[in-house]
Structure 1
Amino acid sequence: MIELKQVSKTFVSKKSTVKALDNVSIHVKKGEIYGVIGYSGAGKSTLIRCVNMLEKPSEGEIDVNGVSMTKLSTNKLREARQNIGMIFQGFNLLKTATVYENIAIPLKLTGIAKTEIDERVKKYLAVVGLEAKADSFPSQLSGGQKQRVAIARALSHEPDVLLSDEATSALDPETTESILSLLLKINKEFGITILLITHEMHVVQKICDRVAVMENGKVIEEGKVIDIFSKSTTDTTKKFINSLFPEDIPTEVLNSLNEQGPVIRLSFVDHSTGKPALAEVAKKFEVYTNILSGNIVQLKNEPYGRMVIHLQGIQEQTEAAITYLEAEGVHVERVNL
């Protein structure tokens, strides 16, 4: 559906040259929600702006729904963009236009008949739950309501693809939850493919099927969300995941515990989250288990749990316990300083 092939983007000024994207390749499948996460300056905003050619790549190819965006003429590109909706962090609403007009004006500019415009505006205001706000102005709306108007405006063109550029980063936690639930609803009911960028792992956890982690203009890890959570390999990815699972175990405590037996991090995926694994370990092996931290979160398609524990006992028994846990489908990682 969306494919970036070895895409690079370099910004050149009199004083400097900045490579914002460095040989990036990703493939977003039809009907999925795909997240791109990274810290400020990672290149994620440049990436999403390249998809609809708001930024032209320096190198590489971009295909959207079978159309090679990098090879289109100006007129053809304008047509192709009609099939790509986009929502922004800053909403980008016309301040002097009503909610109704903010959705209707872009449709009018594309030559759609007045009766159809009216139908679409009312339809998509209903989808986002703002039918009663049609005659309100942006200044009379909350941040969440403004973003819902922006989503309705994007949907009114009935695109196959929706791009989300940090759409929830300016919102409070409760409003963020409601917007994420709305994006899930849109994805499910309309089958729209969503590509979103964010710096919040909670957004990825809540709604994404797959995710790419970016750093210094490169994709450093990519895959199913559950695999990234349970089998991450880079420090940057682990930092994002740790934001959902704060451990905060003092160094002195870890050093002391490691002298008495291994400290391990357990990842429980899907069915393994419901198993009494630690209770079985205590029964089967001569070890004492001490839970240091733990939490279970709901990903889009399955639960994921993580726990840090200390196994106290002789090495033969602690190693046997770890082998048992792995056989039960629990991912085990040793916590060493």
Structure 2
Amino acid sequence: MISLQHVSKTFNVGKKKVEALKDVSLTIQKGEIVGVIGYSGAGKSTLIRCVNLLERPTSGKVLINDVDITSINKKELQKVRQKIGMIFQGYNLLKTATVYENIAIPLRLEGVPKEEIITRVEKYLNIVGLSEKHHVYPGQLSGGQKQRVAIARALAHEPEILLSDEATSALDPNTTESILDLLLQVNKELGITIFLITHELDVIQRICDRVAVMQNGEIVEEGKVLDIFSNPKHLRTKQFVYGEAGIKVPNHFVDKLPKSGKIVSLTFIGESSKDPFLALLAKQFDVLPSILAGGIDQLKDQSVGKLIVHIDGEASEVEKSINFLNEKNILVEEVNQ
């Protein structure tokens, strides 16, 4: 569906050259929801704008349905773009046009017949839950409602791909949740492939199938959300997963623990999070496990539990208990506080 192959982008800023993207490769399959996460300046926005050539790569290829759109003419590119919808953080609605006109005007410019425009506007306003807002102006809408109008406008072109550029970052948590539910609905019911960028870990957890982590214009880690979230490898990924999950134990608390034993991070996936493994440790081995911090995070189709545990006891018994946890497919990592 989407294939970015060795994409680089360099901007000339005064006399300096800024490398926004450095040899980035990423493939998104039909029907997937794939997210790119990174801090400000990581290159996320430049990357997503390369998908529909709002930013043309300095080098590399962008393939949409196996067609390299960096090598086609403007007329052919316009046809490709008609199948790529895009929603933005700032909504980009016309303030002096009604909700209906905000959706209809781009369709008129595209040459869609009048009756078809009416049908599509009604259909997609209904899908986003704003069927009663036809004649309302953007200034009369909440932020969440404005974003729903923007989504309806993108869907009215009946795209195969939907690009989301930080679409929820300006919204409150409850509104964000409703927009994410809407994107899941669009993906499931309409079969639209969604490619999004965000700096919010919750967005990735909530709806994405796969995630790529960006830093300084490069993808430093990429894979299934469950794999990345349960066992991050790169330091930047760990900063997102562990830093935002808030499971670090304060040093003053650690100082009060017994010097024997080990502090370990335990990661439980799915049904394993429901089993009483810590109780079994105390029963089967001469150890005393104490929970220091943790919680359970719900991903799109799975849950991941994380605990920081101090396992107190003789070294041999602690090692036996850790081996027991590993045998139960619980990821165990020693924590250096």
Tell me which interval the TM-score lies in, with the shorter structure as reference length. over 0.9
The list of structure 1 runs, each at least 4 consecutive aligned residues, that deviate by more than 4 angstroms after superposition, is: none
Is there any run of 5+ residues in structure 1 with no aligned partner, and where? Answer: none
Partner of 2:106: 106
Answer whether contact 2:242 2:248 (CA < 8 A) is retained: no
Q: Which amino acid aligns with 1:48?
A: I
Alignment of structure 1 residues 78-157 onto 2, 5 Å: 78-157=78-157
What amino acid sits opposite 1:331 in the alignment?
L
User: For 1:231-270, what per-residue CA distance to the aligned partner results, in whole angstroms no more than 9, with x for missing partners?
Assistant: 1012211111124421242224335537221000011111
TM superposition shift of 1:130: 0.1
SS in 1 for 2:30: coil
Partners of 1:138 and 1:84 lie apart in 2 by: 24
Deviation of the 1:15 alpha carbon: 2.6
Amino acid at match of 1:325: L
User: Which residue in 2 is equivalent to 1:13?
Assistant: 13
Give the TM-score of the pair, scaled to structure 2: 0.98
Contact 2:37 2:197 in 1 (8 A): yes
- Measured on the aligned residues, the alpha-carbon RMSD in Å equals 1.1
Aligned amino acid, residue 328 of structure 2: E
Q: Please state whether the residue corresponding to 1:132 is helix, strand or coil.
A: coil
Which residue is 1:77 aligned to? Answer: 77
SS of corresponding position for 2:245 = coil
Relative to the length of structure 1, the TM-score reads 0.98
User: Structure 2, unaligned stretches of length 5 or more?
Assistant: none
Amino acid at match of 2:89: Q
Which residue of structure 2 aligns with residue 274 of structure 1?
274
C-alpha distance in structure 1 between counterparts of 2:134 and 2:231, whole Å: 47
**Cα distance between partner residues in 1 of 2:293 and 2:98:** 50
Query: Corresponding residue for 2:320?
Result: 320
Q: Distance in 2 between matches of 1:324 and 1:84?
A: 50
Opposite residue 209 of structure 1, the aligned amino acid is D
CA deviation vs aligned residue, 1:26-51 (integer Å, no higher than 9, x gap)? 11111010000000000000000000
CA deviation vs aligned residue, 1:170-212 (integer Å, no higher than 9, x gap): 0000000000000000000001000000000000000000000
Matched, 1:249 2:243: no
Aligned length: 337
Aligned pairs (5 A) from 1:155-234: 155-234=155-234
What amino acid is the match of 1:66? D
In structure 2, the residue corresponding to 1:133 is in which secondary structure?
coil
- 1:54 corresponds to 2:54: yes
Identity of aligned residues (%): 56
1:240 corresponds to 2:240: yes
Q: Which residue number in structure 2 is paired with residue 22 of structure 1? A: 22
Per-residue deviation at 1:328?
0.4
Distance 2:38 2:255 in 1: 32
Aligned to 2:285: 285
Task: Tell whether the 8 Å contact from 1:214 to 1:221 is kept in structure 2 after alignment.
Answer: yes
Q: Distance in 1 between matches of 2:41 and 2:244?
A: 22
Amino acid at match of 1:80: V
- Are 1:36 and 1:212, in contact at CA under 8 Å, matched by a contact in 2? yes
Task: State the distance in 1 between where 2:258 and 2:299 align.
Answer: 32
Question: In 2, are the aligned partners of 1:257 and 1:263 still within 8 Å (CA)?
Answer: no
* Counterpart-to-counterpart distance in 2, 1:67 and 1:19: 26
Does the 8 Å CA contact 1:202/1:244 hold for their aligned counterparts?
Answer: no
Report the more deviating stretch, 9-18 or 123-132. 9-18
Structure 2 SS opposite 1:56: coil
